[in-house]
Structure 1
Amino acid sequence: MEHGADVIEELTGDHRVMDGLFEQLDVLEAGCIERKLLLDALTIELVRHSVAEEMHLYPAVREHLENGGVLADNEIADHDHVEEMLKDLEGRGADDRDFDRLVRELRTEVTAHFQDEEGDLFPRVRDGVHPYVLESLGKKVREAKKTAPTRPHPHAPSAPPADKLLAPGLGLVDRIRDYVTGRGQYPYPTARKRK
Structure 2
Amino acid sequence: MASRIIDVIKSDHREIEDYYNKILNSTTDKEKIQWQNQFTWELARHSLGEELVVYPQFEKKLPGGLDMADKDRKEHQSVKEQLKKFQNMKPSDPEFEPTVKALMQDLSEHIEEEESQDLPKLEDALTTEESEKLAKSFGRTKMFVPSRAHPSAPDKPPFETAIGLMTAPIDHLADLFRKWPHTSGMPNPSTK
Q: TM-score, normalised by structure 2?
A: 0.89
Which residue matches 1:109?
Answer: 106
Unaligned runs of 5+ in 2: 185-192
Shift in alpha-carbon separation, 1:20–1:187, aligned structure 2, 3 A: farther
> Which of 36, 39, 52 is equivalent to 1:55?
52
Offset of 1:187 from its aligned partner? 4.4
Q: How many residues align?
A: 184
Q: Aligned pair 1:98/2:95, yes or no?
A: yes
**Contact preservation (8 Å) 2:31, 2:181:** no
Give me the whole-angstrom Cα distance separating, in 2, the residues matched to 1:187 and 1:15.
Answer: 23
Cα distance, 1:164 vs structure 2: 2.0
Q: Is the 8 A contact 2:90 2:96 kept in 1?
A: yes
**Is 1:78–2:75 an aligned residue pair?**
yes
Please show how residues 1-195 of structure 1 align to structure 2 within 5 Å.
Answer: 4-29=2-27, 32-179=29-176, 181-184=177-180, 186-187=182-183
Amino acid at match of 1:142: G
User: Which amino acid is 2:178 matched to?
Assistant: G
Q: Distance in 2 between matches of 1:164 and 1:187?
A: 32
Between the aligned partners of 1:36 and 1:182, the Cα distance in structure 2 is 9
**How big is the alpha-carbon RMSD for the aligned residues of Structure 1 and Structure 2?**
1.7
Q: 2:190: which partner in 1?
A: none
Q: Shift of residue 141 of structure 1?
A: 0.4
8 Å CA contact retained: 2:33, 2:179 = no
Identity of aligned pairs, percent? 26
Question: Quick one: higher RCO (CA 8 Å, sep 6+), 1 or 2?
Answer: 1
- TM-score, normalised relative to structure 1: 0.88
